[in-house]
Structures are given as C-alpha cells and as structure tokens.
Chain A
Amino acid sequence: MTMHADSLGYRDGKKEIGIMPKRGEAMGACATFSRKYICCRVHVLKSVHNCPFECSYCFLQDYLTDGLTKAVDDTAALMQEVKEKISRQPRRLFRIGTWELGDSLALEEKTGQAAGLIREFARLDNAVLELKTKSDRVEPILGLDHRGKTVVSWSLNTAHVIETEEHLTPSLAKRLEAMSRTAAAGYLIGLHFDPMILHEGWEQGYEALAGQVSEAVPRDRIAWISVGSLRFNPAMKKTIENNYPGTRLTCAEMATGDDGKMRYVKPLRVGMYRRLHAALKRYIAGERLTYLCMERWDVWDRVYGRHPDSAGHLDYLFAESLYRRYGLGPRRPQREVYGM
C-alpha cells in the first residue's frame, strides 16, 4: 500500500500496487481528437492506473506522470457516478470500459475491483461493463452473477507480437484458454485485434490468430470485434526506443494523421485490415459487429465498403446489435437517441 509515487519510474511503479479512493470525475468519453476518425463512443471509467504488463507500444509509458500502479477501491463511489450519469439518458445503452489507463483484470486477484463492478452492473438496465485485458486472471470472476451485463474483452495479437512486444503478458494460448472459460461462464466476449503490427509473416500470423480465436469461443458469444493498427504520438517514438532498444516498431513506414498520432501509411493499414477482415469472415462467419478503432471514413470504405454516418451512428449500431442479439438495453434502440 505504499504511495511514494514520486520516487517511482514507469517500470518501478509496475511492481507496486496502491489502493486509492476515488478522486474527482472517473467516468468520461473515450473520444478521438479529430472528426476525421470514427469513434465508437465507448465510455471509460478510470478505475485502474498503470499496468503490470510491459507492452513496448503502450501509451502509458509516455502518458503517466505518476508511476505507481493504483486501483480505486471505492466501488460504491464509482458506481454512484456511473448511475448518476447514465440516468440522464435512460433511453440509450452505455458501454463503459475500465481499461483506459490499465488492464481491467490483471490486478483482479489483488484488488477484487472488477468483481465489484460486475455485480453492480448486473443491476443496471442501460449500461454494459467492458473489461478489457491481456491477462488470463479470470478465476475470480467466473462464478459471479453477471446477468450478461459484462463483456469480457481480450486484446489479441499474433504469437510473434506477444513474444516480441507484449512483455510479461500471458501467451496467446493462455489468453485463449481464459477466453474459453469466460465464455463458458456465460459472459459475452469482445475481441480487439488492436494494435495490428507489421512484422515478418504478419499475413499468416493474423490469419492463424483468427482461426485460433474461432476455435476458442463460440461465435454467438462474440459481442463485438474491433480492429486497429499501431498508433502513437510522435514524441513517443523516442520513449519507445529508449525503453525498448530492441524493438523495430518505430522504424516502420508511418505518417502523422489529423489527430496528431503516427500510424502506418494508409496503403499498409488498408492491406492489413483487409487481410484480417477476410480471415474473420472465413473463421467467424455469421453476424458480427466488427468495427475499426480510430480510423478514417475512407479506410472504412476500403475495408468494409461502407462507413457509419457518424460516431453517434456507430454507437447506435452497437446498441441495436446488442439489443437484437442479447436483449441488452432498456428498450429497442432509437437512432435519434444516439445523436451525431
């Protein structure tokens, strides 16, 4: 329970966990900075801060000014804010994730935070909790009465990327096993193929990944699939190179977009997305809600042949899909409720 954050660097802070009270506003929008990129309008609940894993591309290494790993222990205070905010728009479905500044489950055995939130969200009509993780620490949540109101999502990547860039994280096999057990416990599953990373053999790597996922989880339990590519602020290039001198992430051909983030140049991104899209169609057939995370309208068009009219439209598509397939949400979603 040490809280000497000032003396802790990014790496040192990963070794200690501080439990902290809720301070200020915890729930906000996960918004992109530019209207040229389509945002899914998920909401975020800042309940964890820093992460025990060491992904070389992680933005936290450049973002956090306080190195300590922390979790908010006051679930009641978090939920009071959530309830107050979602009650202002009772006709819409909120998706609320706890992963903005850390991993939703990696610390669960020590904090029990996710379990508390799962129990609380089980009682809400117009909100779904998303726990996004790279971990395999699902044991503490398997027996909970979640009532289908929690989506447990995995950030997935090829075995090569996990081995070379996602340091200290469980292997793909362990993540998939955890995913199977979680689906078997009745949870909906979210899949995040993000960040896709170019590497030798990436084509076969991501195709194989789609195949392995399809074997690990029944397709009717897959609530949504997101796809995105490596992106970071230009200033982070140096940070990544300093923290992970062996990485080759930063020497790829990238350009800075209108949101100030560097991404692979568009032809490379489109090529990656199309390849994965084809593999997902092959392995995870049937109805899927698949979307691109923080991508341009024209990239959507090139990959899917269509794009949502607006962020509000994509938000509505989520609500519509979740209502129709799983009965989630207060009532049949109305497009106008979700705005532009």
Chain B
Amino acid sequence: MPLQSISASSILVENSRFSPGGFIFTDPGDACAAESFGRLGILQPVILYRDAGGALHLVDGRKRIDYARRRHMKAVSAVVLDPETPVTDIITLVLCDRNADIGSSIINRILFICFAQFSGVPESWILGTLCRRFGFKPYTDFLEDCSRVNGLPAELKHFCHEKRLSLKHIINLTRYPADILRQLMQWRNELALSASILDETASNLNDYLRGNNRTMDDFLSEPDVREVMQSDLSPRDKTARLRRLIYMKRFPVLTASNARIRETVGRLNLPDGISVNWDATLENRNVNLSVDINDVKQWRPLIEALSSGEVEKAVESILEEL
C-alpha cells in the first residue's frame, strides 16, 4: 500500500471508531518509546481507516500521533485503509498495536472483546479468534458475561485492572447490584479490599439486603455501620470490623448460637492448655476438648479441671446448642 502524507490535525484519534481507549485501561507512559522518538523520530507510518464519508480514523500508531502532536508536526506518514477493509483485519491491527495494554489484565482482554463487538466484528470471529487467543472458553454465554463486565461501574472496572483480578472474580462481581459495588468502590480508600474480600463483602451484603428488604441507604444509616465507618481505625482494622458486622447481620442465628457457646466456655475459666472446639456452622453435634501439655506435671491438674461437674454441664449445654 502506498504511503501518504496526512495532515495530523485531520486524524481522528480519541474519537477514532477504532480507538479502544474508552474500553481498555492503559498503564503509565512507556519511557522507552518516548526515548526512541526523541532520538530517532517517527520511523514507521501510522495506519488509518478512511470511512465512507472520508473521515480518517486512527487504527495503529497512538504513540506516534501523540509524539507528532507534542512536536506540533503538521503531517505524518500514513497507510490509509479503504472503507471496504474487513473489520476483522482492522481489529487485528488494533490488537497488534495495543497488545501490551490489552494483555496486561484479564479485564482489559474482556473489554477488548466488548470493543470488538461494539466495532461490529462478527461473533464467530470473536469466539474463534479473540477468545482462543486470550485463553477464554469460546462460548456464546461467555460473550454475555463480557457484556455484563462492561456494564460494571467504571471505578470497579479500573479496580479489576489495577488489582489484576482473575476471570472468576470479575465474573462474580457482575452478580451484584450496582449500588453495592459503587459503595464498595467509594470505601476503597478507607478499606483494605482484596479481590476475595470484595467478593465476600458484596455477597454477604447483597444477601443481607435482599433477605431483609433493605436498601444500601438503609444499611449505611444503621448505627453500628456508621460507627465503624466513621471510626479512626486503620483500613485493615476497619475492614475486619465491617466484615464481621456484615457477617453478623447476614448470619444472625449462627452468630447468636456461637456467642452463647463462647460465653459458656468463657465462664469455665479453663486453664491454659485446654481448648474447646465445635463446628461453628452448628451442623455437627460434636464438642472437641483437647489438652496441650509440654510437661508431664501439667497432666493431672488439666485432667482434674476437665473432670469437674461444671465442665460436664457446659459440654451438655454446648451440645444442646449444636
């Protein structure tokens, strides 16, 4: 294809039909490229697509165009694709150009698929080419998942990119209502959110709100929630307190039963070396009393403590609870 000299100002860059910028996330600038431009200038032509109306859309060469703009260059060398160029060929060029960005996180790969769909690429090509290249299972249902991921709040998508969340975690997040996800993102700087904590918190909160016909605003106005979120605790401690609070609200029966059992055990004032364990889900009717000793002299007093009538009554009471 012949090279053409094209006016830099006539090229659609951000508004290019084939700019994935509105979909994928880009990490901070490439110092290596900047250095190369500084020393050698622009060596390769950019690739443009001329639409039926004559507008020129940037396909490949975002860094070159940015450099040209910074240097106030009037024209750049370009290869111009005609309007009949198959969209799959153009998307392939975009993929090659932005390969590093697209491959940098799972969500970027998902969002690039959405971008390809948005650009009018046939589903069969996305499944057969893009999904396989990205290591995704090529099923139509997966494209629906991609669409749901694209619908997540923008700040959450950015979180998924920054934290390099796995496919499973990202897809899981699409199950939760937007108001919960937005609130968790608002808390992002106050809490220590990892992928699994985010998922657990969203899941328990969602179940609690649905189960009790409450809204996110109702939850935020609950006094114990306000107390935690307005406290001066570190993000880590605040996260632990909030998780516990949500768990207690989500599992009130388990919380109350386990609290009663802990109280029963606490009242025994058992010596160090004796531990009492039970199934916190209450499913197994079983109490486990164990003795830890590192000196044989500890044996008799610990066994005597275990043999007391109080311990027997406590065990009976715990079994009744289980």
For residue B282, CB closer than 8 A to chain A, the reply is yes
Contact between chains at B211 and A256 (CB < 8 Å) = no
Q: How far is the CB of A11 from chain B (nearest CB, A)?
A: 13
Q: Which residues of A contact B283 (CB under 8 A)?
A: 255-258, 266, 296
A147–B206 Cα distance when bound, in Å, is 53
Contact between chains at A241 and B253 (CB < 8 Å) = no
Q: Which residues of B contact A252 (CB under 8 A)?
A: 211
Mark B residues whose CB is within 8 Å of A. Answer: 172, 175, 206-208, 210-211, 250-254, 257, 281-285, 322
Given A242, A250, A251, which contacts B208 in the complex, CB threshold below 8 Å?
A251
Contact between chains at B211 and A251 (CB < 8 Å) = yes
Q: How far is the CB of B273 from chain A (nearest CB, A)?
A: 30
A250–B211 Cα distance when bound, in Å, is 9
Q: Which residues of A contact B257 (CB under 8 A)?
A: 267
Given A258, A265, A268, which contacts B284 in the complex, CB threshold below 8 Å?
A258
Q: Which residues of B contact A296 (CB under 8 A)?
A: 283, 285
Please encode chain A, from 237 to 277, with 1 for each CB lying within 8 Å of some chain B CB and 0 for all others: 01001100000101111011110000001111000000000
Q: Known contacts being A238-B175, A248-B210, A251-B211, is A265 close to B285, with CB within 8 Å?
A: no
Q: How far is the CB of A228 from chain B (nearest CB, A)?
A: 16
From A252, A266, A298, residue with most partner B Cβ within 10 Å: A266
A281–B254 Cα distance when bound, in Å, is 30
How many interface residues does chain A have, given as a range?
A: 10 to 19
4 other contacts beyond A251-B208, A255-B281, A257-B283, with CB at 8 A cut-off?
A242-B175, A253-B254, A265-B253, A267-B257
Closest to B250 in A: A253
Please encode chain A, from 109 to 122, with 1 for each CB lying within 8 Å of some chain B CB and 0 for all others: 00000000000000
A312–B250 Cα distance when bound, in Å, is 39
Contact between chains at A251 and B210 (CB < 8 Å) = yes
A242–B254 Cα distance when bound, in Å, is 27
A–B Cβ pairs within 8 angstroms, 23 of them: A238-B175, A248-B210, A248-B211, A251-B206, A251-B207, A251-B208, A251-B211, A252-B211, A253-B251, A255-B283, A256-B281, A265-B251, A265-B253, A265-B281, A265-B282, A266-B282, A266-B283, A267-B253, A267-B282, A296-B283, A296-B285, A298-B285, A298-B322
Q: How far is the CB of A233 from chain B (nearest CB, A)?
A: 15
Closest to B207 in A: A251
A80–B250 Cα distance when bound, in Å, is 52
Please encode chain A, from 289 to 313, with 1 for each CB lying within 8 Å of some chain B CB and 0 for all others: 0000000101000000000000000
From A241, A250, A251, A268, residue with most partner B Cβ within 10 Å: A251
Q: Known contacts being A258-B283, A296-B283, is A253 close to B253, with CB within 8 Å?
A: yes
Closest to B209 in A: A251
Q: Which residues of A contact B250 (CB under 8 A)?
A: 253
A256–B283 Cα distance when bound, in Å, is 8
Contact between chains at B211 and A255 (CB < 8 Å) = no
Q: Which residues of B contact A250 (CB under 8 A)?
A: 207
Q: Which residues of B contact A241 (CB under 8 A)?
A: 175
Q: How far is the CB of B177 from chain A (nearest CB, A)?
A: 10
Enumerate the 9 nearest inter-chain pairs by beta-carbon distance, A residue then B residue, closest first: A251-B211, A255-B281, A251-B207, A251-B210, A298-B285, A266-B282, A265-B253, A257-B283, A253-B251
Q: How far is the CB of B227 from chain A (nearest CB, A)?
A: 24
A241–B176 Cα distance when bound, in Å, is 10
Q: Which residues of A contact B285 (CB under 8 A)?
A: 296, 298
A242–B176 Cα distance when bound, in Å, is 11
Given B206, B207, B210, B254, which contacts A255 in the complex, CB threshold below 8 Å?
B254
Q: Which residues of B contact A253 (CB under 8 A)?
A: 211, 250-254
Closest to B283 in A: A257
Closest to A264 in B: B253
Q: Which residues of B contact A36 (CB under 8 A)?
A: 284
A107–B206 Cα distance when bound, in Å, is 38
Q: Which residues of B contact A251 (CB under 8 A)?
A: 206-208, 210-211
Given B207, B210, B253, B281, which contacts A268 in the complex, CB threshold below 8 Å?
B253
Q: Which residues of A contact B211 (CB under 8 A)?
A: 248, 251-253
Q: Which residues of A contact B281 (CB under 8 A)?
A: 255-257, 265
Q: How far is the CB of A298 from chain B (nearest CB, A)?
A: 4
Q: How far is the CB of A245 from chain B (nearest CB, A)?
A: 10
A39–B283 Cα distance when bound, in Å, is 17
Q: Which residues of A contact B254 (CB under 8 A)?
A: 253, 255, 265
A296–B281 Cα distance when bound, in Å, is 14
Closest to A200 in B: B213
A258–B207 Cα distance when bound, in Å, is 23
Q: How far is the CB of A85 from chain B (nearest CB, A)?
A: 34
Q: How far is the CB of A156 from chain B (nearest CB, A)?
A: 25
A252–B210 Cα distance when bound, in Å, is 9
Q: Which residues of A contact B175 (CB under 8 A)?
A: 238, 241-242
Q: Which residues of A contact B282 (CB under 8 A)?
A: 255, 265-267
A298–B207 Cα distance when bound, in Å, is 29
Q: Which residues of A contact B172 (CB under 8 A)?
A: 238
Q: Which residues of B contact A242 (CB under 8 A)?
A: 175
A235–B257 Cα distance when bound, in Å, is 26
A266–B285 Cα distance when bound, in Å, is 10
